[in-house]
Amino acid sequence: MSIGRVIIVGMDGSPRGDAALRWALEIGAHTGDTVRAILVRPRDTLLPGTSFAVQPHGRVPEAGYSLAAHVAGLGIETPAEVETLTVHGDPATELVTASADADLLVLGAHRGGAVTDLVLGSVGRECVRYSRCPVVVITPEAAHRLTPA
C-alpha cells in the first residue's frame, strides 16, 4: 500500500492563493493525499525608514480571519484530506521549511511591475529558489482559467 503525498499550499487570503488551493485540490491531489493549506502571518516587526513598517510582505488577512472557515467556504470537493495551519514568521522561510516534509509546494503568483515584484513577489521567488520539493506556481492567467463559471 502506498503512502499518499503531502501537498503544501501557501495561502494569503487572496484570489491567487484560492486558485493555488483550487488547483491543488481539484487537479494535484488524489485519494490518500494530504493537502495542507498554510497561512503565514508575518511577525509584527518594525523596519525603520520604510513605508512597509508593519506589513513588509504585502496583503495579510484581517485579525478575525479563519483559514479553516475560508477553505471550507470555497466548497471544493476533493478525495484528499485537507488540513489548515496558521503560523507566524517570515512567509518564504516558513513555506520553504514546510517543503522539507512535502512532495509538492503550490503557490499563487503575484503579478506587477518591478517595484511590486520586489515587495510582493519575493515570497514566491524565494520558495522557487530554495524549496526542497517541486513547486507549482499558479499565475494570474492560470487562476482566471481555474475560476468557476
pLDDT in tens, 44-81: 655 555 555 444 444 556 667 899 999 999 999 899 99
Residues whose CB is less than 8 angstroms from the CB of residue 105 and which lie 6 or more positions away in sequence, other chains included = 7, 8, 9, 10, 95, 98, 99, 127, 131, 133, 134, 135, 136
pLDDT of residue 57: 47
**Strand order, beta sheet including 34-41:** 81-88, 34-41, 6-11, 104-108, 135-138
Looking at mean pLDDT, say which of 3-7, 41-45, 65-69, 101-105 comes out highest. 101-105
Higher pLDDT, 106 or 112: 106
First-residue to last-residue Cα distance in the chain: 38
Q: How far apart are CA 28 and CA 16, in angstroms?
A: 16
Percent of all residues in the chain with a pLDDT value above 70, rounded to a whole number: 74
115 pLDDT more than 70: no
Asked if 103 contacts 5 with a C-beta cutoff of 8 angstroms, the reply is yes
What is the pTM (predicted TM-score) of this model? Answer: 0.80
